[in-house]
A = this chain, B = another copy of it.
Amino acid sequence: MAVRQTLALDAMGGDHGPGVVIPAALRFLDQRPHCQLILVGRQEAIAEHLPSSAARDERIRIHPASQEVAMDELPSKALRGKKDSSMRVAIDLVKRGEADACVSAGNTGALMATARFVLKTLPHIDRPAIITAIPALKGQTHMLDLGANVDCTAEHLFQFAVMGSELVRAVQGLPMPRVGLLNIGAEEIKGNDQVRAAHELLAGSSLNYVGYVEGDDVYLGDVDVVVSDGFVGNVALKASEGVAKLIAQMLKRRFRRNWLSRLSGLAALPVLRGFRAEVDPRRYNGASLLGLRGIVIKSHGGADALAFEHALRIADQEVRSGVIARIEREVEVHLGEARALKLQAAEVPA
């Protein structure tokens, strides 16, 4: 029998727990015969949502965990007090090598804190970052960090760039992903000190660095990786979600205004449905916690089965592409470059 990829699922995480995780797991297994899943959580709760036919599937295993991390629980509290939580046990399985990746829809802060504590960061990586794909006019763009790191030095931003570039190279098969650094436009006041220093590091590296990009460039698809600190990245992503929802609401309101607009909406239904599917955020669900010694995927807390299934696919893709080993190797190469650049700069008298 071929060696199977194994994903550990935090079955209790997210707003809906096993009610979403189990149906997503079953659909995922239908399409990925090479995978096997470990469902981590309270056995009764899982069994309740698991059809007996699926319970006999040798590719599904239940791993008990007696506790759950609440969605609003303080990360530090979850880390100290919930050592048998479904989230923690799923990460432990990755640490012990029993699973190749872990997927959770639980509390982001707790997931990051626990994953960092259990798995540790890769050599030379100071801080893990959160990355996700977002739709663009041409293809898609990956953006990081999305909220794990509020204040970042130039070195942190540089590390994010290296990790993001290698992730995209691995999972999208792009030989030289174009990397952009998020900044604001006004020429003389361009960026803060950290961003300008990161720009120097990136410009001197062998990454395919294309320079500064602005907030609207993210959605053009002219770059493959957009780097920013976690505060800026999080606000940009959330603001984008806000606008998308606003537009959807306005469009809906207009089509529902009177019988004539309703009729025309009916005529346009196939187009509107296709459009909705295209921009469906569920198709982009699943953010990677990058920089750890293991693959951890965060699903949106409110994800439904379709969205959670997409997060599982991302985990599968990262396992198959061997992204962790690749990032580890690339970080080694590029940090050597950054060090050389810094030495060089130090040798030039100011």
Chain A residues near B (Cβ < 8 Å):
72, 74-76, 108-109, 112-113, 135-137, 147-148, 150-151, 182, 184-189, 191-192, 214-220, 228, 230-232, 234-247, 249-251, 254-255, 257, 260-261, 263-265, 267-271, 274-275, 278-279
A108 to chain B, nearest CB (A): 6
Q: Which of B218, B230, B238, B254 is close to A275, meaning CB atoms less than 8 Å apart?
A: B254
* Complex CA distance for A185 and B58, rounded to whole angstroms: 39
> CB-CB < 8 A to A243: which residues of B?
219, 240, 243-244
> CB-CB < 8 A to A219: which residues of B?
239, 242-243, 245-246
A182 (CB) vs chain B CBs: closest residue: B235
A242 to chain B, nearest CB (A): 3
Contact between chains at B231 and A215 (CB < 8 Å):
no
> CB-CB < 8 A to A76: which residues of B?
188
> CB-CB < 8 A to A242: which residues of B?
215-220, 240
Interface of A is mostly: helix
> CB-CB < 8 A to A257: which residues of B?
271
> CB-CB < 8 A to A279: which residues of B?
247, 250
Contact between chains at A235 and B267 (CB < 8 Å):
no
Q: Which of B112, B184, B235, B255 is close to A184, meaning CB atoms less than 8 Å apart?
A: B235
> CB-CB < 8 A to A148: which residues of B?
186, 189
> CB-CB < 8 A to A186: which residues of B?
75, 108-109, 112, 147-148
* Complex CA distance for A112 and B279, rounded to whole angstroms: 38
> CB-CB < 8 A to A275: which residues of B?
250-251, 254
| Of A219, A230, A250, most B-chain CB atoms within 10 Å | A219
Contact between chains at B236 and A236 (CB < 8 Å):
yes
* Complex CA distance for A188 and B112, rounded to whole angstroms: 12
> CB-CB < 8 A to A261: which residues of B?
270-271
> CB-CB < 8 A to A218: which residues of B?
239, 242
* Complex CA distance for A195 and B250, rounded to whole angstroms: 32
> CB-CB < 8 A to A137: which residues of B?
245-246, 249
Contact between chains at A231 and B192 (CB < 8 Å):
yes
> CB-CB < 8 A to A244: which residues of B?
243, 247
* Complex CA distance for A231 and B264, rounded to whole angstroms: 42
